[in-house]
Structure 1
Amino acid sequence: MAVDSRTPVIVGVGQFTERIGDPDYRGMSAVDLATAAARAALTDTGADTAAVASAIDTIFGLRQFEISGPMPAVLGKSNNYPRSVANRLGADPARVVLEPVGGQSPQKLVTEAGALIVGGRADVVMIMGSEPGSTAKYFADREDKPDFTEHVDGQLEDRGHQIYSYIDEYTVTHGLTGAPVQYGLLDNARRSRLGLGVAEYRHTMAQLFAPMSKVAAKNPFSSSPVERSVEEVETVTGENRMICDPYPRLLVARDTVNQGAAAVLMSVESARRLGVPESKWVYLHGHSDLVEQPLLARVDLGASPAAVHAIDEALRVAGIGVDDIATFDLYSCFPFPVFVACEALGLAGDDPRGVTLTGGLPYFGGPGNSYSLHAIAETVTAMRDRPGQFGFVGANGGIMSKYSVGVYSTEPVEWRSCRSAELTAQVAELPTVAVTKTPEGTGTIETYSVRYDWPVRTGIIVGRLDSDGSRFMATSEDHELVALMSDGDPLGAKVAVTNTDNGNRATLA
């Protein structure tokens, strides 16, 4: 099939991982990790790498954790992360962009880059990201700390970290300061809807995740290439300690990693001009990017209408069904996003196609906002090995706040538009729940988590007031209530809640 010369194709992908304990471990910076992956992506094009690097006109950079909020980068950072990488590659793009926080960003940027290319606003685009979490840990208690500070001149479109689009003073005051506790609320809300007990639900989570570790064990880019059994994943031990209810460590994204990933996209016209073999070309057949309602406004905290719409829309745009897909990589920071995607796809946990190509965030690694760029790299490689088949990438950001989907294949196809803006507007118009920020009285626990990572074990509660059914948040250090939350099942339990100068407090009613 002949396609328009402006049609975008992915022509190069690259990944890099270094592990503490490896003989050649260097403790690399974010810039150096991204550079290693970017060089691999340039090589992967099969064309002259210097020529491709020189042709790059746009670079999108993904944020690392160290620049994803107001805290300083303890080992220093570049003032222009994308240009620091570009300089090392011998590239001089006219435009570089630093994307906001969000795990959906890699897939969202592939879609954005494709639209720029087809619209004639870019010809050769690189997307790259990295996460130096293990470097930060490695040097935390050492005297010989490196200084990764760089000052690079040149244009930078910094879109800001935008972390406060996911959290606010109210949620932070009530303990929602990390992903495990945030997703713990969602998984426990889903458990409530399904009517499952604590042990039964943990077993289903372990059944879903343990097979991912088998994939990770064979992936040379994995940060933890160890196969785990269902029993290992679900059993709380000293090694597999509880992080935030309902998650022991082996159900939590592994963020202490050193990983980088990159992808090169260009127009068909540029690919021909630069001599990229057609065997390298992979097309984006379907795509979507949706935004969910704010966390506490959602009627069902155990569901994600935006993710469901995003999945359906990407398949519609691609013109295929679930049975046509050969590979999946579903964002797996915690079980909840995988459960949501599997339900939307009608995909059983034991489907022989599996739910990951990388090995999943707890085992392959969870390099912050960059994880799904690794998923895209694996999918592109798999599609080249399976000409004409389709690969599905589901990418999730925030507190199940944004969901982006890509459907990939070597089968030529011209660019297709999607209805993401229209569908996001529909999601925004769904019913919402009123929130009372300073509650007094009695209510019931709607969902919950327990923070085992704080000095004092603390219960985190989302409840409904008996007086008007409005939603509230509260924390508790009450021994009786926290014991129920840790060792029993508090869903539906009656609590008394009072407002203090430092947030709401709950006890058993």
Structure 2
Amino acid sequence: GDSQCAVIVGSEAISTVLALSTKGETPDWSEVIGGDCEDQGFGLEELLEPALFAHGASGAIPLYALAENARRAKLGMGLEEYRLEIGKLFAPFTRVAAANPHSAAPVERSAEELATITARNRIVAEPYPRMTVARDQVNQAAAIIVASAGLARALGVPEAKWVHIHAVTAATELKLSQRPDLAANPASIASVEAALARAGMGMGDMRYIDFYSCFAIPVFNQCDHFGLSVDDPRGLTLTGGLPFFGGAGNNYSAHAIAEAVQRVRADRGSFALVGANGGWMSKYATGIYSCLPADWSAGDRFAKLPKAANAVPVSAAPFDRAVVETYTINRAPKGDAAIFIGRNTAGERVCGNADLTDPATAAVFEGGAPFGAQLAVSQDDRGRNIGRIA
């Protein structure tokens, strides 16, 4: 390979930053690092969707909520029923988080508690109660050292501590508004399947699993595809998940990998799978780990998968009619805002805001089932698309 040793490190200090901000303190944490810096990041241009942002879907919570409600529509579930499904998924996560000394919220909770709307567990964007979204206000850090077997041996690292990488894959998804199925994340499925194939294994061979869990839908997508139960006896998280262990936004999966290393070291011969998600299901990477050695001589245990070519056409032009495919309602102190994604009369993807001041429109959207509704759309003085039940 190109390198005999590499160090991967990341951290978040959002909790401290917010605490200092409330006090009006702005400490100087800047530093100057020598050497060259090569940015191999995904790039904001692949994440930003100006039209969605302009209509209030300007962060992870409403963007994931749009996908989550699309899945709910496919299942034919009402809001309360679906919230309980999220609770059933995440209740086992809270048990893991409660036993993890590094968790930001080490409290075990029931499915009903997670799904019940209270003052402390308010809706942040339909269908999400506050407790079921990634907890990004954390102080957390993790680091990983990757070395060749030769260097590890030369440095005297005991072979009993060696953990081998059996496969790594990475995939990039279409932008949310371009996806044929707004609920699906085929790139993530392709990444996991490719990693398993390159390791010569199946999901049943994985004794330890950590699926990225910023919200329910990235986990649900894996469960739906691989036929996994939300109460799979292996568990679907090693840390406790982003809503409960903590969502160190730039580095969560390093924590998952660190947990996977500890598991397979203590259970020799076992395998662990870690799935890492980024953006709004915009990219996915999968790693498989074990104390058993892996033969990398053929160079075929890593793959960067091709991006899908079946993007739905998206229109930024004004339109006067739309059929709703999915939606969310942002709940905020300054007021609620309903956001929809749908199709115009030409079949192109469009987005806008539903007019909650219109009684008929509010009744349909607040009722939780505007899927398939016909909207009459006009543009306001800010250029936003405002839809009302036709």
Alignment correspondent of 2:348: 470
CA drift at 1:216: 0.2
The aligned runs of 1:405-416 (5 Å cut-off) are 405-415=286-296, 416=299
What is the deviation of 1:489?
Answer: 2.0
Change (3 A) 1:418 1:305: farther
Partner of 1:238: 119
Distance 2:221 2:28 in 1: 42
* 2:323 alignment partner, one of 424, 427, 444: 444
Seq. identity, %: 43
Whether contact under 8 Å (1:313, 1:419) holds in the other structure is no
Partner Cα separation in structure 1 for residue 385 and residue 253 of structure 2: 37
Match of 1:354 in 2: 235
Q: Give the C-alpha shift of residue 454 in structure 1.
A: 6.0
Q: Are the aligned partners of 1:393 and 1:405 in contact in 2 as well (CA < 8 Å)?
A: yes
Provide the rounded CA distance (Å) in 1 between the counterparts of 2:39 and 2:368.
Answer: 46
Give the one of 53, 60, 69 matched to 1:179.
Answer: 60
Alignment partner of 1:166 is 2:44: no
CA distance in 2, matches of 1:153, 1:305: 40
1:300-339 maps to which residues of 2 (within 5 A)?
300-339=181-220
Whole-Å separation in 1 of the counterparts to 2:194 and 2:41 = 28
1:417 aligns with: 300
| One-letter amino acid matched to 1:424 | P
Aligned to 2:69, the other structure's residue is in SS state: helix
Aligned to 2:145: 264
User: What is aligned with 1:188?
Assistant: 69
Displacement of 1:364 in angstroms is 0.2
* Separation in 2, partners of 1:493, 1:435: 19
Which range moved further: 151-160 or 257-266? 151-160
Three-state SS of the structure 2 residue aligned to 1:356 is: coil
Q: 1:144, 1:203 → 2: CA distance?
A: 41
CA shift, 1:470, in A, is 2.0
- Determine if contact 1:214/1:227 at 8 Å carries over to the other structure: yes
- Alignment pair present for 1:214 and 2:95: yes
SS at match of 2:207: strand
Equivalent residue letter for 1:193: K
1:434 matched to 2:313? The reply is: yes
Q: Equivalents in 2 of 1:464, 1:158: separation in Å?
A: 37
Give the residue type in structure 1 aligned to 2:35: G
Q: Distance in 2 between matches of 1:275 and 1:333?
A: 38
1:85-96 correspondence to structure 2 within 5 Å: none
Q: State the 1:322 CA deviation.
A: 1.4
Counterpart contact for 1:438–1:499, Cα < 8 Å: no
C-alpha displacement of 1:176: 2.1
Q: Residue 457 of structure 1 aligns with which residue?
A: 336
**1:279 to partner: Cα distance:** 1.1
- For the 8 Å contact 1:130–1:258, the answer to whether it is kept is yes
- Aligned to 2:388, the other structure's residue is in SS state strand
Q: Which sits farther off after the overlay, 482-491 or 329-338?
A: 482-491
Contact 2:166/2:288 (<8 A) preserved: yes
Which segments of 5 or more consecutive residues in structure 2 lack a partner in the other structure? none
Aligned pair in 2 of structure 1 residues 488, 191: CA closer, same or farther (>3 Å)?
A: closer
Q: What is the aligned partner in structure 2 of residue 32 from structure 1? A: none
**Equivalent AA in structure 2 for residue 213 of structure 1:** T
Q: Does 1:141 align with 2:48?
A: no
Cα distance per residue 1:3-23 (max 9 Å; x no partner): xxxxxxxxxxxxxxxxxxxxx
CA distance in 2, matches of 1:400, 1:351: 23
1:436 offset after TM fit, Å? 2.3
Instruction: Indicate if the aligned counterparts of 1:328 and 1:391 stay in contact, CA closer than 8 A.
Output: yes
Give 1:420 shift.
3.6
Q: What amino acid is aligned across from residue 178 of structure 1 in structure 2? A: G
Letter of the structure 2 residue corresponding to residue 259 of structure 1: Q
Number of equivalences: 385
Read off the aligned partner of 1:490 and give its amino acid letter.
Answer: P
* 8 Å CA contact retained: 2:103, 2:244: yes
Q: Secondary structure at the match of 1:362?
A: coil
Equivalent residue letter for 1:215: V
Looking at structure 2, the residues matched to 158 and 203 of structure 1 have their Cα atoms a distance apart, in angstroms, of 41
For the residue of structure 2 that corresponds to 1:436, the secondary structure is: coil
Q: Distance in 1 between matches of 2:330 and 2:122?
A: 12
Q: Structure 2 CA distance, aligned partners of 1:390 and 1:302? A: 29
**Cα distance in structure 2, aligned partners of 1:174 and 1:417:** 44
Asked if structure 2 preserves the Cα contact closer than 8 Å seen for 1:166 and 1:294, the reply is: yes
- Three-state SS of the structure 2 residue aligned to 1:348 is coil
Query: What letter corresponds to residue 381 of structure 1 in structure 2?
Result: Q
Shift of 1:145: 4.1
Q: State which of 473, 484, 494 in structure 1 corresponds to 2:374.
A: 494
Q: C-alpha displacement at 1:477, in angstroms?
A: 4.1
Q: Would you say the 8 A contact 1:435–1:472 is kept in 2?
A: yes
How far has the Cα of 1:160 moved from its partner? 5.9
Match of 2:259 among 374, 378, 382: 378
SS at match of 2:324: strand
Gaps of 5+ in 1: 1-118
In structure 2, relative to structure 1, the CA distance for the partners of 1:144 and 1:182 (3 Å cut) is closer
Q: Give matches, 1:44-83, under 5 Å.
A: none
Distance change (3 Å), C-alpha of 1:402 and 1:139:
same
**1:164 Cα shift?**
2.5
Equivalent residues of 1:244, 1:450 under 8 A apart: yes
State how far apart, in whole Å, the 1-side matches of 2:41 and 2:162 are. Answer: 32
**SS of the residue 2:250 aligns to:** helix
Letter matched to residue 347 of structure 1:
L
Q: CA RMSD in A?
A: 1.7
SS at structure 2 position matched to 1:232 = helix
Question: Could you tell me whether the CA contact under 8 Å between 2:52 and 2:352 is conserved in 1?
Answer: no
